[in-house]
Amino acid sequence: MQPLLVYNTLSRQKELFQPLTPGRVGMYVCGPTVYGDGHLGHARPAITFDVLYRYLVHLGYKVRYVRNITDVGHLEHDADDGEDKIAKKARLEQLEPMEVAQYYTNRYHAAMERLNVLPPSIEPHASGHIIEQIELVKKILDAGYAYVSNGSVYFDLRKYQEHFRCYGRLSGRVIDEMLSTTRDLDGQTEKRDTADFALWKKASPEHIMRWPSPWSDGFPGWHTECTAMGTKYLGETFDIHGGGMDLMFPHHESEIAQQTSVCGHGPCKYWMHNNMITINGQKMGKSLGNFITLDEFFNGSHKDKDGKEMLEQAYSPMTIRFFILQAHYRSTVDFSNEALQAAEKGYNRLMQAYKTLGRLTASKTSSIDVSAYRQRCYDAMNDDLNTPIVISHLFDLAKVVNTVADHKATLTQADIDELREVMETFIFHVLGLRDETSGDNAALVDGLMQMILDIRAKAKAAKDWTTSDQLRDSLGTLGITVKDGKDGATWSID
RNA sequence: GGUCGUUUGGCCGAGGGGCUAGGCACAGGUCUGCAAAACCUGCUACUCCGGUUCAAAUCCGGAAGCGACCUCCA
């Protein structure tokens, strides 16, 4: 088994990954709130943890991967009546709340499929786990770390902090000062401390999404779903909890508090957080209104607030995926057309080299040593999923392939096979890229192209440049590039 | 304001005390009927100011810029 190091936000250092149960991994990742189309920012955790999931499976672990769908609960920022996000959107569009949630869930799934993000093992919906969340709130009340106030239930952060003294450890903030300074503020609030967070919220009369509970007709608090569903499907303690850095506080911090208050310890061993995607140096986010949806990337059109077109062209799902993987998941990555275009070309180069690999002819000896590349790729993955380094090694291999194809170096059949296996493993299985150029009719297109290239070869042999160029130009307008080489012509779809 | 992080060549981005990723772009060359691709060569950078060290982009201190979180957010 490869020794995998992962950066644990809790300890702020890389730790050797050792699952709680040998051979098995439980991981939970915070999924989307389905009240809008997924944007580039949503692709980051999905792809990051998809790679982690793929890699763990590749290493031989049996992984249960849980990624939730948030379809209830979160409060709307600008709605002072505390209206549910889903409900607000529903009223706007005259749709049932669940219709809206379903619509955007479907669209999210479609986008994920195009990005080649594998579906998780379990995708629980918050709305389907209201009972579990109520049970969790009851437990926290029984343990004495929550109080009922006007039909709502709040987490008693002050009391929790007195006993456990660990609220703020994950996100690195000192909560004691916050508690001591906010105590005597505004008497109108239902909360004892402004830092207290809701476990159950009483619904206002016009609030559509509501469920009965021992305290009121209402809806669960901001952070309960992850605790309830994580516990239900992965147990009281599981291995990895992932999500975006912006969820560290207060979301994950509160999850830890909820879990700790009822069983004395947090939900997981390793906390992993991906960094943000920025646009013009600023975080791409829903609230900032500077996000570009995934569909807009795929279609190549997005107008910003001033009506200016932000996308110079369409970017394929694999270009997006490659772009994201070319940066380490804990670094911010800045969107720009230039960077995306560079990623597109790099991705095409890699795919082209992989295809060229299939045409290599073996020699009796190898003039290049390819034995070390496999472990180098593993080493990079093992170092906290350093996908940019993996990609750099894959480019090295691409160069090896091309050099051999140019007859400037030789490889034995065994080395060619090794090369193919390493490239296949890391490009397709671990990084989860896929060849976008080969569609359903790949075999048919192959046959047709071979036929055309044969005709062109004959024209070339007869020095009939008019015909050969005409064929090449016509194919070019269809998006097919013909490349003449020493061993005959090859082609690729742009 | 508090906490944390970041600053790498024309661009994107790894690395992280001496050996200096990778991609894109650009320039020259090889091959080729031409083109494209591929290959070869060049472009060899680490915000600033101090300090530690035989040696610092890399460690320490300070400054500046940028950003994240502190509120829904991936």
Say if CB A432 and CB A117 are below 8 A apart: yes
Q: At what angle do helices A317-325 and A387-405 cross, to 10 degrees?
A: 110
Instruction: Kindly provide the ipTM of the predicted complex, given to two decimals.
Output: 0.93
Query: DSSP assignment of A187-235, as one string?
Result: TTSS-SSTT--EEEEEPPTT--S-B--SS-SEEE-TTHHHHHHHHHHH-
> Measured CA to C1', what is the nucleotide nearest A322?
B23
Domain limits for position A32 = 5-274
Residue nearest to nucleotide B13 (CA to C1'): A327
Give the span between the Cα atoms of A412 and A364, in whole angstroms: 6
SS (H, E, C) A405-456: HCCCCCCCHHHHHHHHHHHHHHHHHHCCCCCCCCCCCHHHHHHHHHHHHHHH
Rounded mean pLDDT, A444-449: 84
> Measured CA to C1', what is the nucleotide nearest A392?
B22
User: How many Å apart are A338 CA and B36 C1'?
Assistant: 22
Amino acid A112: pLDDT: 97
Strands, sheet with A277-279, edge to edge from the N-terminal-most edge strand: A282-283, A277-279, A333-335
Give the span between the Cα atoms of A14 and A22, in whole angstroms: 20
Amino acid A487: pLDDT: 76
- Any domain includes A477: yes
Token pair of A291 as six digits: 């996000």
Any idea what the CATH number is for the domain that residue A218 is in? 3.40.50.620
Residue finishing a domain among A249, A274, A299: A274
- Antiparallel, parallel or unpaired: β A13-16 and A5-8: antiparallel
Residue A64's nearest CA partner among A233, A184, A300 is A233
A149 and A102: one domain? yes
A453 and A400: one domain? no
User: How many Å apart are A336 CA and B10 C1'?
Assistant: 15
Residue nearest to nucleotide B15 (CA to C1'): A389
User: How many Å apart are A56 CA and B73 C1'?
Assistant: 28
Give the span between the Cα atoms of A299 and A446, in whole angstroms: 27
- Alpha-helical segments (H) within A326-412: 337-357, 373-382, 387-405
Does residue A186 carry a pLDDT above 50?
Answer: no
Measured on CA atoms in the order A26, A29, A33, A36, is the torsion positive or negative?
negative
A221 and A234: one domain? yes
Give the model confidence (pLDDT) of A235-271 as tens digits: 999 999 999 999 998 899 999 999 999 999 999 999 9
A347 and A414: one domain? yes
> Measured CA to C1', what is the nucleotide nearest A286?
B73
User: How many Å apart are A170 CA and B68 C1'?
Assistant: 15
Of A76 and A136, more confident: A136
> Measured CA to C1', what is the nucleotide nearest A390?
B22
A19 and A125: one domain? yes
A123 and A216: one domain? yes
> Measured CA to C1', what is the nucleotide nearest A281?
B67
A425 and A459: one domain? no
A332 and A403: one domain? yes
A373 and A417: one domain? yes
Find the angle CA(A284)-CA(A287)-CA(A289) to the nearest 5 degrees.
Answer: 60
User: How many Å apart are A384 CA and B55 C1'?
Assistant: 30
User: How many Å apart are A409 CA and B51 C1'?
Assistant: 51
Q: What are phi and psi of A155, to 5 degrees?
A: -80, 130
CB-CB neighbours of A109 under 10 Å: 16
Total count of domains within chain A: 3
Give the model confidence (pLDDT) of A329-362 as tens digits: 999 998 999 999 999 999 999 999 999 999 899 9
> Measured CA to C1', what is the nucleotide nearest A489?
B37
Q: Which amino acid does the sequence have at A422?
A: V
A229 and A342: one domain? no
Nucleotides of B under 7 A from a protein CB: 2-5, 11-15, 21-25, 31-40, 66-74
DSSP summary character for residue A129? G
Give the span between the Cα atoms of A334 and A275, in whole angstroms: 11
CB-CB neighbours of A106 under 10 Å: 11
Amino acid A292: pLDDT: 94
Give the span between the Cα atoms of A280 and A237, in whole angstroms: 40
A143 and A292: one domain? no
Rounded mean pLDDT, A292-321: 92
Say if CB A247 and CB A283 are below 8 A apart: no
- Any domain includes A435: no
Any idea what the CATH number is for the domain that residue A328 is in? 1.20.120.640
- Any domain includes A437: no
Amino acid A77: pLDDT: 36
User: How many Å apart are A138 CA and B31 C1'?
Assistant: 76
